[in-house]
Amino acid sequence: MRRTILPLPIRRPPFRHFPLLIASLALAVGMEPGRVRAEDQTKKQEPPATSKIIRIAPSRITFGQDIDVEFNELPKEWLEGGKLNSSKLALYLNGQEVNGLRPTWSGHKELSFRLESNKDSSESWSRIFSRPSWEPLKLRVGIGPAGSGAAQAIRAEDMLLEIVVIHRLRFWICFVGLIGFLSLFLELARRSTIIREPAEPHVPTRFRQFSLGRTQMAVWYFLVLAAFLFTWAIKADYPTIPDQILGLIGIASGTALGAAVIDNIKTKPNADTARVDLEAQQAALLKEIEQAEREVSQAREASKNAPPDPPRTKKALGEDMEQAKRNLNFKENESRTVLERIETEVKQLEDACKEAEAEFQSAPEEPATEKTALQQTMDTAKGGLQAKKKEREDTQSRVSKDILRLKDEVSRTTNAFTAAPADPEKPKKDLDEDLEKKSLKLADMRITLTKIQHQLGGSENFFVDILTDENGISFHRFQIVVWTLVLAVLFVNGVWQELKMPNFDSTLLALMGISSGTYLGFKIPEKTTRA
């Protein structure tokens, strides 16, 4: 019986699927050949892992001070022949390279940088300090090769540098100084001709019109001054004024100068009789207004210092006292007359009673009827006498009360009159009425003066003066005011955003120049009625 020999299974190498497994893992973790090379290159470009920043001192500084950055070990690439090549190193703050700052090396593991602004670093600080605030600016510090980017810099990962952006002392010095200058300028603008149009010598300053050209020049002067002081208060460095800003100031100055030249050319002796009469009326009215203002001031002071009027003046109290005395005399005379009349009637009734009683006594007993009649007559007479006596008593009592009351009234009014102070020469009420009349008169005179000034072109108020000519509000004046405001807003925003004076586009400067030229062109035919 033949044995059948089955072939043994061929054993394949155990790692036959290994390349496939490696490829799958590479795809799963994204290990593409290009990526591996990029990562390898990045690792080669990164600084040695042994070099790191271990200390930053001080951790909170004011701009202009030095910071010391200490390493555990300086990278060897930074050293050439045992010396530090500082020209090839730069300071990085929040990933931004600060140009123009080079470290100083003491020979140990510490580098020092002075945080200051210079020609090269000014632009970098402007970007870092944009939109400054009172809170310190927290920055991450790094040091690396200049111009190679923050990725190759050694960064202090767990330490932050705090920089006080706004130096309080410098800021408040600049702020107070600017407010002082601005307050002085506004007072001069109100009281002098610093931004007003030229006029005849007899025209007071407050009636001269404000000049649009001079106002525009003043606006740009104070904006540039404020930006200059604000930038210096933060960076402790004198900022550079760009050519565009100088051009803008030149346009404003040229506008003011051109307006002054045009006004000077047009200001000639005016032979217009109507204008001469108006100017004469204005001059006379100004003198009258000054006199009226003095009178109103005196009347106001007199009314203010006058004591309040009493409820009744001494004169009125004296009249009350005299009236009370007259009432008492009248009542006494009237009561005397009434009592005398009643007394006469009483005597008459007494005589009648006596006669009736005598007739009754002398009458015979008979006849009885006559005796009875006489008795009735006697009783009637006695009854009338008793009634009249009762009337006399009542009248005397009433009269006594009335006289006593009137005597009290006389005493009260006499005491009030005696105690009252003497009446002032002019009561406060009369002083108030006098003040009101003079104030109304002054107001009417000012209205008249305003009408004359309107015909002569005198000042009304600041905005009306810079926006109007003899025909009213004019567009060529309005548009230069609008463009000045627009550029002023852009200027302020640029200083705040970038901490430097902005560079305006040449198109904007050309537009401003066109607006100023248009204003001067339309100013030439304006009449000289504007004082």
Query: Quick check: is 302 in a domain?
Result: no
Query: Quick check: is 47 in a domain?
Result: no
**Burial environment of residue 517 by CB neighbours within 10 A (0 to 12, 13 to 18, 19 or more):** middle
Residues 250 and 337 in one domain: no
Looking at residue 531, the DSSP 8-state letter turns out to be -
Residues 259 and 343 in one domain: no
The tokens for 356 are: 């009736």
Strand pairing category for 154-164 and 137-145: antiparallel
Query: Quick check: is 5 in a domain?
Result: no
- Identity at 423, one-letter amino acid code: D
- Residues contacting 295, CB < 8 A, separation 6+: 438
CB 60 within 8 A of CB 162: yes
Residues 153 and 180 in one domain: no
d(CA 139, CA 460): 55
Q: Could you tell me which of 281, 300, 286, 283 has the C-alpha nearest to residue 438? A: 300
In three-state form (DSSP H/G/I as H, E/B as E, the rest C), the secondary structure along 138-186 is EEEEEEEECCCCHHHCEEEEEEEEEEECCCHHHHHHHHHHHHHHHHHHH
Looking at residue 367, the DSSP 8-state letter turns out to be S
User: Which domain range does residue 88 map to?
Assistant: 53-165
Q: Could you tell me which of 412, 402, 426, 401 has the C-alpha nearest to residue 320? A: 412
- Residue 32 is predicted with a pLDDT of 37
Strand pairing category for 66-71 and 53-57: antiparallel
CATH code, 117: 2.60.40.10
Residues 358 and 389 in one domain: yes
Angstrom CA distances, 329 to 322, 335, 399, stand at: 11, 10, 12
- Residue 48 is predicted with a pLDDT of 46
Q: Which residues of the chain have pLDDT under 50?
A: 1-48, 268-272, 529-531
d(CA 277, CA 275): 5
- Residue 6 is predicted with a pLDDT of 35
Query: Quick check: is 96 in a domain?
Result: yes
Task: Give just the sign of the alpha carbon dihedral 491, 493, 496, 502.
Answer: negative
- Residue 494 is predicted with a pLDDT of 86
Domain C-terminal end among 112, 134, 165: 165
Residues 181 and 159 in one domain: no
The residues with which 90 forms a beta bridge, in sequence order, are 144
Residues 225 and 272 in one domain: yes
CB 63 within 8 A of CB 235: yes
Residue at token pair 């008169």: 441
Residues 59 and 137 in one domain: yes
Residues 323 and 269 in one domain: no
Q: Where are the alpha helices (DSSP H) in 210-272?
A: 212-235, 243-266
pTM of the model: 0.51
CB 504 within 8 A of CB 245: yes
Cβ atoms within 10 Å of 54's Cβ, excluding its own? 13
d(CA 468, CA 210): 11
The residues with which 473 forms a beta bridge, in sequence order, are 468
Query: Quick check: is 222 in a domain?
Result: yes
Residues 63 and 153 in one domain: yes
Query: Quick check: is 336 in a domain?
Result: yes
Domain C-terminal end among 394, 419, 444: 419
- Residue 17 is predicted with a pLDDT of 41
- Identity at 397, one-letter amino acid code: S
Q: How many residues does the chain have?
A: 531
d(CA 200, CA 366): 131
Phi and psi (nearest 5°) for 90? -140, 155
- Residue 27 is predicted with a pLDDT of 35
Strand pairing category for 60-62 and 154-164: parallel
Residues 195 and 121 in one domain: no
Cβ atoms within 10 Å of 448's Cβ, excluding its own? 15
- Residue 177 is predicted with a pLDDT of 92
Query: Quick check: is 515 in a domain?
Result: yes
CA atoms lying within 13 Å on the CB side of residue 50 = 5
CA dihedral 180, 183, 186, 190 (to 10 degrees): -120
Query: Quick check: is 402 in a domain?
Result: yes
Q: How many domains does the chain divide into?
A: 3
Residues 213 and 277 in one domain: yes
196 three-class SS: strand
CB 455 within 8 A of CB 529: yes
pLDDT (tens digit per residue) in 490-518: 889 888 887 788 888 788 788 888 888 88
Task: Give just the sign of the alpha carbon dihedral 271, 274, 278, 280.
Answer: positive
Residues 116 and 177 in one domain: no
Kindly give the interhelix angle for 168-191 and 212-235, rounded to the nearest 10 degrees.
170
CB 231 within 8 A of CB 178: no
Domain C-terminal end among 139, 165, 191: 165
User: Within its chain, how far is the Cα of 166 from the centroid?
Assistant: 26
209-212 CB contacts, 8 Å cutoff, 24+ apart: 209/457, 209/458, 209/459, 209/465, 209/530, 209/531, 210/459, 210/462, 210/465, 210/466, 211/256, 211/259, 211/465, 211/466, 212/259, 212/465, 212/466, 212/467, 212/477, 212/480, 212/481, 212/519
Q: Which region, left, alpha or beta, applies to residue 236 given φ > 0 means left and ψ of -120 to 50 means alpha?
A: left
